Chain A
Amino acid sequence: MNRAKIITFIIEKFFWICALLSLLALLLILGFLLKEGLPPLFSIGFGDFLLGTSWKPLEDTFGIFPMIAATAAATAGGILLGGFVGLFTALFLAEVASPKLARLIRPLIQLLAGIPSVVFGFFGLVLIVPWISNHLGGPGNSLLATILILSVMILPTLASISETALRAVPQEYREGSLALGASPMETLFKVTLPAAKSGIIAAFVLGVGRAVGETMAVVLVCGNRPQIPKSLLDPIRPLTSTIAMEMSYSTGTHQQALFAIGVVLLVFIVALNLCVNYILKGRKDV
């Protein structure tokens, strides 16, 4: 082999190693979170940990069911509200708006996506929380405040991924439908939307991931009381907030239990990604 060939070989291997870094990083993250979080899961017991309803670190009682319930309720609310508005925004931008109007609005949605989560949290804390407290009652820091903030935060992700999926639907679908006498609105909801189904479902699944994982915005508005929410105005404490609130002062078993929460979150996120992979791979449409 001459020198040029050797250099080429080395450079190409170097590219490969850089690509491999992502896989290594993921394995490292999985390894270290499991190393810290699995032992307490076994010592506390999976059932007691996941289904236990009381979280009292001082008494060594670690049950995260209230937090799972809080995360589930907040995510469901956020996805319903943010998903609906986001999907309709995507439909508007992809199919209804003039190209000029869409070009005007799209950067605004990107800006919304770029706003740091702590700014969302701060905004919620100074405007939404007092508003809820004054007009609807309760402390203000509540499931409702969390849902409102989460829905605005996941909206841009949902809107932009859904829009991409809608734009990928071939023009012939729309033309065929219109030629058969369907109105533009029927075409949009009965032809284009179903054709973009798998991309849109993937967007929703990713949105769920974001809502479940969101921390700094939620911790400022949720109220931080580990209880199963019974009404929209109850203060709650999702899984991520628990880690964020207690990590800075926890030690020993308490800290390990926080890592165990991290493992629960991680398993959920990886499972969600597998779902997205499956949905996008199995897509027959488009």
Chain B
Amino acid sequence: MCLAIPGKLIELTTENGLKMGIIDVNGSKTRACLEYVPDIKVGQYTIVHAGFALKIIDEEEAAESLKLWQELIESGAFQPDDELPLPGSV
């Protein structure tokens, strides 16, 4: 239901008394309201929904879980080059 995309805070601003910022999403820059992430610092990633930063991305957690998944890949007998069986008739 809710499209929220990760982006990097590159600049802090204020508009009409609200804490705002410029978020870089892969080179596209958008304005977002930062009132709900008061502790955010420039350089941190946040997810943006409807022009609002909703949560600072937990970088440590992300790195940790990716590492776990990577281990899963390496542990398995799975061959990454295997083609998956093709889905039914197209």
| Chain A complexes with chain B | no
Residues of chain B having any CB pair with chain A under 8 Å: none
